[in-house]
Amino acid sequence: MVNRSQTAEDRDRFLEIHSDAYRVLDQAIANRAFPGCAFGILAQDGISFSDALGRFTYDDNAPAVHANTIYDVASLTKVVSTTATAMLLHQQLRLNLETRLGDLLPGFVIGRAGSDATQSRWARQVTLRHLLAHTSGLPGYVPLFRRASSPFELLRATLQLPLEAEPGTRAEYSDHGFILLGKALECLLGEPLAPWASRHIFAPLAMASTRFCPLLSQRATIPPTEEDHTLRHRTIQGEVQDEHAFLLHGAPGHAGLFSNAPDLLRFAHAILHPEQAALFDPATIALFSQRQSPLGSSRALGWDTPSTPSSSGSLFSTRSIGHLGYSGCSLWIDLEARIAIVLLTNRTWPDRLCDAIRSVRPAFHDAIRNALS
């Protein structure tokens, strides 16, 4: 992969070609969809470009965002760390998608011993495939942090969450499912997920700016995500925004990763050009990018695929995979066109009320794709 982000001549040419995309982002900042953003594009020829607009906050004196600014990428953690780990373990024959969660985390079944027979039966059916495809029957989101104050209490509460549907019959995007998936993977790894992902994914791909739990010295260089009035009662900057990830010490399976646009393009390059990156096998990529049952779900294994409408816009092929992050981040990879687009923002600043990014994402992606074509 050739990175052109530091070449002034390339930037001028890029500004001209992608003027519509810049207009979309400039207007989004003016409309306070987010105070600033960094973005990156990996084109068919393997050349990447990254750039940035705006500032860390809406304060005129706030630091400017740069192309290599690190963001809290929230649920991009699910694909860049957790799903990527599952992919590697699967191709190493260390992970079977049909392994039952209860075999790795017995508390998921034992904790329901006093429940009705249906809950116990459903719990015994849940597999790693179900967790990856968000079809485990677990609820989408329950604010467990309101009653749990430690990692142990939060994990116990997650293990005991009532299942809302028979596994495999309903797709419901679930943070809780990926919290448990992260713990299950740690059982297979024999160590915490974060250091393993750092050694086996981030380091081989030269993702030097990607990590869980940024150092105290790094925090001021990361855009803040919100003024928290719920749990920590302080400005959240350089530490994970997600409350459950915070209680789990910042490095669980569903959120907590920090990264920048160039690093995420390196990850996308490993997906699009496996023969060059030598990390993921083509067969593994093909398997994990296939949509899963039930019919109508857009979910593949860990990954999402374009739905109608889609945050990826209207021009990504059906052979595309991607994911969103609650903080305002996204990664979309078109396996057919061999194109990837990263958008990083802190749209939750200063609070989570604004969802204007919903209309920005598809417009931005369409502008980029139109220019590339």
Distance CA 327, CA 71 (A): 9
Distance CA 43, CA 197 (A): 26
pTM of the predicted structure, to 2 decimals: 0.97
Bond into 350 cis (ω within 30): yes
Strands 329-334 and 339-345: antiparallel
Distance CA 147, CA 152 (A): 12
Q: Report the DSSP beta bridge partners of residue 332.
A: 322, 341
Terminal-to-terminal C-alpha distance of the chain: 20
The pLDDT value given to residue 220: 99
The pLDDT value given to residue 5: 45
Reading the chain (373 residues) residue by residue, the pLDDT tens digits are: 756 545 677 778 888 889 999 999 999 999 999 999 999 999 998 889 999 999 999 999 999 999 999 999 999 999 999 999 999 999 999 999 999 999 999 999 997 877 789 999 999 999 999 999 999 999 999 999 999 999 999 999 999 999 999 999 999 999 999 999 999 999 999 999 999 999 999 999 999 999 999 999 999 999 999 999 999 999 999 999 999 999 999 999 999 999 999 999 999 999 999 999 999 999 999 999 999 999 999 999 999 999 999 999 999 999 999 999 999 999 999 999 999 999 999 999 999 999 999 999 999 999 999 999 8
Do the Cβ atoms of 244 and 144 come closer than 8 Å?
yes
Of 84, 48, 53, the C-alpha closest to 66 is 53
Domain limits, the chain: 2-74+219-240+258-372, 80-194
Any idea what DSSP says for residue 217?
A: G
Strands 235-236 and 257-259: unpaired
Please check whether the domain covering 2-74+219-240+258-372 is classified as CATH 3.40.710.10.
Answer: yes
Q: Report the DSSP beta bridge partners of residue 322.
A: 304, 332
3-state DSSP percent of the chain in helix, strand and coil, to 5: 40, 15, 45
Which residues, 6+ apart, have CB-to-CB distance to 86 below 8 Å? 95, 128, 132, 181, 185, 288, 301, 302
User: What per-residue string of b and e applies to 104-133 under the rule 16 or more CB within 10 Å gives b?
Assistant: bbebbbebbeeeeeebbebbebbbbbbbbb
The pLDDT value given to residue 3: 63
For tokens 């995979």, what's the residue? Answer: 321
For tokens 């400017």, what's the residue? Answer: 64
